[in-house]
Amino acid sequence: MKKCRTEVVRHADGSVKLRQTVEIDVPAGTSMLDAEAAMEAALMEAGASLVEEFLHASDTDGKPLMVEGERLTAKSQKEPLVVECTFGAVSVARWAYQSSRGGTCYYPLDRKMELLGSATPKFARSVGFKYAHAPAAKVCQDLEENHGRTVSVHFVQALTDLLGEMAVAVQPAPDTGLMPAPKEVALVAVGVDGACLQITVGPEEPEGPEDQGTASRPDRRKGRRLEWRTGMVGTLAFYNKAGERLGTIYTGCAPPEHSGDGKEDFWFLMERDLAMVKAHYPKARYEGISDGARDFVPWLQDNTEGLVLDFLALRDFLWEKSLD
């Protein structure tokens, strides 16, 4: 395989033209499978080279910048970064900026290219889609077998954690145009509950004081263990005067990555949606419903006018009392 040097042409309007020619020699008698593999490898290498050149061409010139009204200056030397893209891992040195007060560095290239951690947007989207349908180990196997990309389980998990944080931050509020008319809604039932889910904890997360006494056990992979953690769900259900349900808004959050983390993301989404609903239905009555868990009741008391114990929790409570 012969690969020509990438040609980069910068235009006055800021656009960039990237040009590269790839030649692949296929010996006589080569099977189609081997030919495809050779073509894939050549195109992956060429694609990675194009991405690398594009990143270099897109960085700033190192001159001072104004960001949100603050003057930032570049460090004396560029900082390296290994970027994971669809075609492979590429290395780029980019300018890091700081204010005169120091603090966290600002990387214009990372922001301009919309890098998620060290991943390009397209690769991050691909990994996130695969992880939504298969465990991290299977995602790694899929990427290597079908896309010629080798990444670690930790990379997949860390990247999708960033995707999850972004999704929570930009998750839109419910569309009021799809909700019942205000005059039809007499009651809004605010329900919250938790579901215990078993997750795999990596060796990089040491067991802290908050983990003592939790139900965990080693799994078959060295240095890892399985733990039970809580995923949260919530509902905002609309009822008319006759008690007929007119619609429901559903909210949910996955278990926290670390056992010491609380349910802040879930409560943030519930409070945001509930505030929007209260503004849309100011005359409705708001009732909270839960299984009576200690961390649910205070929040419901602060946000609703009355509390209701759900039927299954009440049934179990009465059954236990009958056995005393």
* Pair 195, 233: CB distance under 8 Å: yes
The larger pLDDT score, comparing residue 309 to residue 201, is at: 309
Q: How confident is the model at residue 259 (pLDDT cuts 50, 70, 90)?
A: low
Q: Residue 176 above 80 pLDDT? A: no
Region at 211 (left for phi over 0; alpha for psi -120 to 50; beta for the rest): alpha
pLDDT at position 4? 60
What pLDDT sits at residue 167?
A: 65
pLDDT of the residue at 88: 94
pLDDT of 200? 67
Cα distance between residue 123 and residue 147, in whole Å:
11
Q: Is 223 helix (H, G, I), strand (E, B) or coil?
A: coil
Give the integer Cα–Cα distance in Å for 313 and 31: 65
pLDDT at 1 over 80: no
- For 136-141, what is the mean pLDDT? 92
Side chain identity, residue 309: L
| DSSP class of 296 | T
DSSP assignment of 158-197 equals HHHHHHHHHHHHHPPPP-GGGSPPGGG--EEEEEEEEEEE
The arithmetic mean of pLDDT across residues 25-39, rounded, is 92
Taking the CB of residue 249, how many other CB atoms lie within 10 A of it?
20
Q: What is the pLDDT of residue 309?
A: 85
For the chain, the structural domain boundaries read 121-170, 176-323
For residues 209-238, one letter each, b for 16 or more C-beta atoms within 10 angstroms of the residue's C-beta and e for the rest, the string is eebeeeebeeeeeeeebebebbbbebbbbb
DSSP state of 254: P
pLDDT at 280: 92
User: How many residues are recorded in the chain?
Assistant: 324
Average pLDDT, the chain: 84
**Token digits for 302?**
């602060």
Q: Which of 177, 196, 192 is nearest to 236 (CA)?
A: 192
- Domain 176-323 CATH (choose: 2.20.25, 3.30.420, 1.20.120, 1.20.140): 3.30.420
- Annotate 106-166 with DSSP letters as a single string: E-HHHHHTT-BTTB-HHHHHHHHHHHTTS-HHHHHHHHHHHH-----HHHHHHHHHHHHHH
- 70-74 and 97-99 beta bridge pairing: antiparallel
Q: Which of 49, 45, 59 is nearest to 10 (CA)?
A: 59
Position 323 scores a pLDDT of 75
Residue-level pLDDT at 173: 62
pLDDT at position 162? 83
Cα–Cα distance measured from residue 245 to residue 234, given in angstroms and rounded to the nearest whole number: 16
More confident residue, 160 or 1: 160
For position 212, what pLDDT does the model report?
Answer: 41
Give the mean model confidence (pLDDT) for residues 249-264: 76
Indicate whether 183 pLDDT > 50: yes
- Asked if residues 109 and 95 have their Cβ atoms less than 8 Å apart, the reply is yes
In percent, the amount of the chain with pLDDT more than 70 equals 85
Instruction: With a cut of 60, say whether residue 281 has pLDDT above it.
Output: yes
Contact call for residues 90 and 48 (beta carbons, < 8 A): yes
pLDDT value, residue 211: 43
Which is higher by pLDDT, 137 or 315? 137
207, pLDDT greater than 60? no
Tell me, what's the pLDDT at 315? 80
pLDDT (0 to 100) of residue 201:
66
